Structure 1
């Protein structure tokens, strides 16, 4: 899929991008060509396979050669590149997912940006909300310091070719560099400094 369609928003931070996801996806949707089947605010490339029992809610764009399994749930302002896989029980909310990324099964990814070639093993979760505290603002760690995002929902920016192991949990505000590896069962919270 032509990622240049998103280039006019390249100056936004990842949390600004997902905050505006529904608006951005709607703007891109009206520029798509005949290779997409468009119904309301959902656009599927003609090569996409969506199994019976999957739930799709717009605004949503799914690019060429993607697969969405029965029981998958994609909703609320999502842009998906080429050759992505959403297995049974995978949920994607208000996110941008680049080419070749896989949510194996029983995943939740909310308000996030996933680079190309990212793999989330079964049961891995990208949390997007700080339910455990009164101050809901998500903070990110940049150059060793916490930075306010100004929003109460932001999951993660996951760099290209990163791997997130089965049953791992990424806390809100996670920033992973390219080719990062999160081990199976790990809880990764950038707000917590390990000593």
Structure 2
């Protein structure tokens, strides 16, 4: 329930071939920067403008003047990067996305139609097709003890060997306002997270995560 195949329809991202190399989504995090630079060099210059070194913006995208685009990054067609958004770099943002006011992105892949619209932090994460984070929802990507991150799925524990992993959101995931997704959180497709939740571990697809930690299947 937590492989790339389980979580994502790869037809909705320019990272399709890149992600297809891996079994688990967090395995792709280390190479996002180099992948974006290589991909950017192949983009159609009639469609994308390299506005600064290794920063490519589709000509149909809207980027507000107060937004910061750090290299490398790619902003896809019809995407909006709104006021005071802070893209630190290593960000592939797909088509028809929203990167909202005061939202920060770092080392991420956002599939098409992803919305991070209000005061979000998304770091070392992959957000699937049509996933959405409510206002103030954040991905926590480093443990407080700075130890390597382990993916917890009930009694199963998967050693990642990585110090930084945010959240892996499957397609059509909805995260409620002011929720915290702890390091190594994996949320299956079509699942919902209640507002103000503190989420950790693997949440099965088509589930509802309540803010007391209870998980129920959708009817």
Question: TM-score of the superposition, structure 2-length normalised?
Answer: 0.82
- Aligned with residue 83 of structure 2, among 63, 70, 75: 70
Alignment match, 1:19: 30
List alignment gaps of at least 5 residues for structure 1. Answer: none
The whole-number CA distance in structure 2 between the counterparts of 1:19 and 1:32 is 22
- Aligned with residue 176 of structure 1, among 161, 173, 187: 187
Residues 84-112 of structure 1, C-alpha deviations (whole Å, 9 max, x = no match): 00111111110000011101211001000
Alignment match, 1:111: 124
Alignment match, 1:91: 104
Alignment match, 2:210: none
List alignment gaps of at least 5 residues for structure 2. Answer: 1-10, 203-212, 215-219
Alignment match, 2:58: 45
Root-mean-square deviation (CA, aligned residues, Å) is 1.9
Determine which structure has the larger strand proportion and give its number: 2
Change (3 A) 1:8 1:21: closer
Change (3 A) 1:2 1:160: closer
Alignment match, 1:187: 198
8 Å contact from structure 1 (residues 101, 115) kept in 2? yes
Moved more, 14-23 or 166-175: 14-23
Question: TM-score of the superposition, structure 1-length normalised?
Answer: 0.92
Change (3 A) 1:8 1:119: closer
The whole-number CA distance in structure 2 between the counterparts of 1:31 and 1:127 is 32
The reply on whether 1:7 has 2:17 as its aligned counterpart is: yes
